[in-house]
Chains A and B, each alone.
Chain A
């Protein structure tokens, strides 16, 4: 099981994040300085080893799941045997 987190790079304008921040302020939640909205992608895959899974996930995240011009990604892997 892989959990991929795609976030906008620092400095890239985030219209969704800004709108969400405004809404939070309007609702009276104080002290919210910055809101950034990203994507969370959960996927399960079969691999012979954790290393192979890691290689696959990092390639998928780099080539397809994120756009390197504006986004960064990170992922977490959880091994499930059997």
Chain B
């Protein structure tokens, strides 16, 4: 399963994502934000960081990068797209996921480990977790306060699109939301960093299951032919 890690000017979790995929033994390549063709990849990761300095709004400028058209296409084709932190913000700005981010309720940039509940294990990103499993992942963001209108929130709840929730909400996020998928389930956005929790040395290895889930989902779909 071939992974692409998109690098925007200002991305700073690209190497962590690359190494997380390397750790599970799958091929991975960096892709510069000017690239227009992602057809040779099976999964796309939009890493955390500060794309274009977050100058206008987080993710607002990155969404107009040439590569985002290819990401859109990949998502439409059913390929797995994972946006972490700034990557999540880019997915929201580009409309691949519903909602928007506000500044953290306490206005502080938060850098700490949070306990999460895996709410939906029926997505290609969470197959290897147990329903309701409690996991520990680091967060590092100033704008992770997820919000959306009441209709959207109802749809998220009804469709099981809320995938991760904070056990004790650090940023004011609506309904403790830490990560959501699109209706089809192949695009996940999350504020916590699974790629920074793939080795006990890092304080937690709970994030590794997210990457192994992606591979399992892809292999299941492709009949174990690889």
Q: Is the beta-carbon distance between A67 and B57 smaller than 8 angstroms?
A: yes
A67 to B102, CA, bound (A): 11
A62–chain B nearest beta-carbon distance, Å: 13
B172 at the interface (CB under 8 A from A): yes
Q: In the assembled complex, which residues on chain A have CB atoms less than 8 Å from the CB atom of B148? A: 69
B145 within 8 A of A: yes
Let me know if B93 and A12 touch, CB within 8 A. Answer: no
How far, in angstroms, from A32 to B104 measured CA to CA in the complex?
23
* Contact present for B107 and A19 (CB under 8 Å): yes
Q: B100 on the interface (CB 8 Å rule)?
A: yes
Asked if residues A67 and B60 are in contact (CB atoms below 8 Å), the reply is yes
- A16 interfacial by beta-carbon distance below 8 Å: yes
Are B56 and A64 neighbours in the complex by a CB distance under 8 Å?
yes
Interface of B: prevailing SS? loop
Asked if B104 and A12 sit within 8 Å, CB to CB, the answer is no
Which residue of B is nearest A11, CB measured? B149
Known: A64-B60, A67-B100, A70-B102. A13 touches B147 (CB 8 A): yes
| Contact pick for A16, options B57, B100, B107, B147, CB 8 Å | B107
A interface footprint on B95-127 (CB within 8 Å = 1, 0 otherwise): 000111011111100000000000000000000
Q: How large is the interface on A (under 10, 10 to 19, 20 to 34, 35 or more residues)?
A: 10 to 19
Report which of B64, B99, B105 forms a contact with A13, defined as CB distance below 8 A.
B105
B147 touches A15 (CB 8 A): no
Residues of B within 8 A of A16 (CB): 103, 107
A40-80 contact mask (Cβ, 8 Å, vs B): 1 or 0? 00000000000000000000000011010110000000000
Return chain B residues, CB-CB under 8 Å to A15: 102-107, 145, 172
Report A-chain residues with C-beta under 8 Å of the C-beta of B102.
12-15, 70
A70 to B104 alpha-carbon distance, docked (Å): 15
- Chain A residue at smallest Cβ distance from B58: A67
- Cβ of B147 and Cβ of A70 under 8 Å apart? yes
Question: Given A13-B172, A69-B99, A69-B148, A64 and B64 touching (CB < 8 A)?
Answer: yes
Please give me the residue from chain A that is nearest to B108 by CB atom: A15
Interface residues of A (CB under 8 A from B): 12-16, 19, 64-65, 67, 69-70
Which positions in B face A, CB cutoff 8 Å? Answer: 56-57, 60, 64, 92-93, 98-100, 102-107, 145, 147-149, 172
